[in-house]
Amino acid sequence: MTKIETNLTVDPAYEAVAPDDFPAMMDVERYGKRSNAFDKIISATHDHFWDPMDKKYVDFSQPFDMENEYLIDPTQNTDLKTAVADKLDEKQKIKLVNLDVQWSLSSILHGEAGALALSASLCHILKDPGAQEYAANQTREEARHVAGFSNYIKARWGKPVAVGPALGDVLTELVLSPLVWKKIVGMQMLVEGLAMGAFATFYKVSRDPLLVKLMQLTMTDEAFHHKFGKIWADRTIPNINVDERNQIEDWAWHVFEILLYNLGSPEQKKHIYAAVGLDWQWVQGAFMEALTDVNIREEMQETTNIFRVLIKTLLKAGIITNRTAGNYAAFIDMKELYAEGDRMIGDDIAEEGIKYLLQLNGQGTRAYSLDSMSAAE
């Protein structure tokens, strides 16, 4: 079986050229060959406009007592479900939880920066004017997410922490890859699926109203980014050969494993444990003792669990089949996911946010459904 080193162009909407082949973009025939697959998503852009630099949308001057209040419900913190909790007093627990939120939001910020760069890179290689315009719109939206999370992190901690090696390596691979399928599966499905789970979780468990608002505003954009990936999957996965589909499926599982076992590992968060007087290697031992596959499976039963959302994204896209379903079944009830509809956990939150933005932007009140952006249409 040979590795897929070329783009899988079974639908002309995803035809691509080399990043340095700008002459292909000036082909006079290209301009008139515009797919309508993304028109609804493009035209809906104004429905979810918001500006992270305008207090009308989100005010980053809102205070929060970082020393005495938890940013999130502490029962949701993984560290405190291990022997770590027995070593800390209340003030230290607050510090640990809030620093862990900084770590998570910094990872999200780096992910948004990666999504911005990746979306921009799609503008360089997608020949279809409609797909190219969609990518340009997403680039703009990812840029405001970078601004929004930068503003929040600055308000609460001053600056973000460095990206962890696991996430950094994945993002670098996706941004630099010349392959459209890898960019879309990797970013629009894996990373965006992970992000939607994270946003929904923070929206649910955060005790900081500012963070709740930022999450909902971000989700009004991200729900559409997920739709773009779903359109690609619906038009591509059923129409490629078995070897190609198997390689995409195996690559997705490989990336999933990297993210599952490395995103929150104690070794990557040494500074957090040092700040509360703990040795990271001791913490890692406590994790190994407490977090078995059974424990992970219990965590993933939550509908907002980030990895549950990620698995559902891949499953509904046809990227998980019987070949790899058993891998994921170690952590999640796959039959339950099969039985669920296509709506993602963040869609309801995003729709409420869009209704809020329509009113705020003077566009009145009207029913809004992300389901109308279906690939079939």
- Span 2-61, pLDDT tens digits: 565 666 667 888 888 888 899 999 999 999 999 998 899 999 899 999 999 999 999 999
8 Å CB contact between 198 and 108: yes
Instruction: Check residues 258 and 157 and name the one with the higher pLDDT.
Output: 157
Instruction: Check residues 341 and 362 and name the one with the higher pLDDT.
Output: 362
Decide: residue 29, CB within 10 A, 0-12 exposed, 13-18 middle, 19+ buried.
exposed
Domain residue ranges of the chain, discontinuous segments joined by +: 87-373
pLDDT tops 60 at residue 141: yes
- Give the Cα separation of 229 and 317 in Å (integer): 8
pLDDT tops 80 at residue 368: no
The per-residue pLDDT for 54 is: 97
| C-alpha 237: how far from chain center | 21
Report the amino acid identity of residue 271.
H
- From 100, 104, 81, select the one nearest 287 (Cα to Cα): 81
Question: Which CATH number does 87-373 carry?
Answer: 1.10.620
Measured at the CA of 12, the angle between CA 7 and CA 18, to 5 degrees, comes to: 40
- From 313, 311, 305, 309, select the one nearest 334 (Cα to Cα): 311
Q: What is the DSSP string of 187-217?
A: IIIIIHHHHHHHHHHHHHHB--HHHHHHHHH
Q: Residue 180's pLDDT band (boundaries 50, 70, 90)?
A: confident
Instruction: Check residues 94 and 228 and name the one with the higher pLDDT.
Output: 94
The per-residue pLDDT for 374 is: 54
- Give the Cα separation of 218 and 350 in Å (integer): 8
Instruction: Check residues 227 and 314 and name the one with the higher pLDDT.
Output: 314
pLDDT tops 90 at residue 307: no
Give mean pLDDT, residues 261-285. Answer: 90
- Give the Cα separation of 80 and 291 in Å (integer): 12
Summarize pLDDT for 162-176 with one digit per residue, the tens: 998 889 999 999 999
Tokens linked to 246: 């198997």
Summarize pLDDT for 192-225 with one digit per residue, the tens: 888 888 899 999 999 999 999 999 999 999 888 8
The percentage of residues in the chain with a pLDDT greater than 70, rounded to a whole number, is 90
Which residues, 6+ apart, have CB-to-CB distance to 102 below 8 Å? 153, 156, 157, 160, 161
The per-residue pLDDT for 360 is: 93
pLDDT tops 70 at residue 301: no
Q: Residue 67's pLDDT band (boundaries 50, 70, 90)?
A: very high
Tokens linked to 222: 């991200």
Q: Within 237-279, where are the H helices?
A: 242-262, 270-275
Expressed in angstroms, the distance from the first to the final Cα of the chain is 35
pLDDT tops 50 at residue 375: no
Rounded to the nearest integer, the mean pLDDT of the chain is: 87
pLDDT tops 50 at residue 97: yes
Tokens linked to 273: 């444990």
Q: Residue 373's pLDDT band (boundaries 50, 70, 90)?
A: low
Report the amino acid identity of residue 284.
Q
pLDDT tops 50 at residue 377: no
- Give the Cα separation of 135 and 16 in Å (integer): 13
**Local structure of 72: helix, strand or coil:** strand
Consecutive H or E run containing 357 = helix 347-360
Which residues, 6+ apart, have CB-to-CB distance to 47 below 8 Å? 354, 357, 358, 363, 368
- Give the Cα separation of 84 and 31 in Å (integer): 60
Instruction: Check residues 347 and 119 and name the one with the higher pLDDT.
Output: 119
The per-residue pLDDT for 230 is: 83
Consecutive H or E run containing 76 = none
Give mean pLDDT, residues 320-325. Answer: 91
Model's pTM, two decimal places?
Answer: 0.90
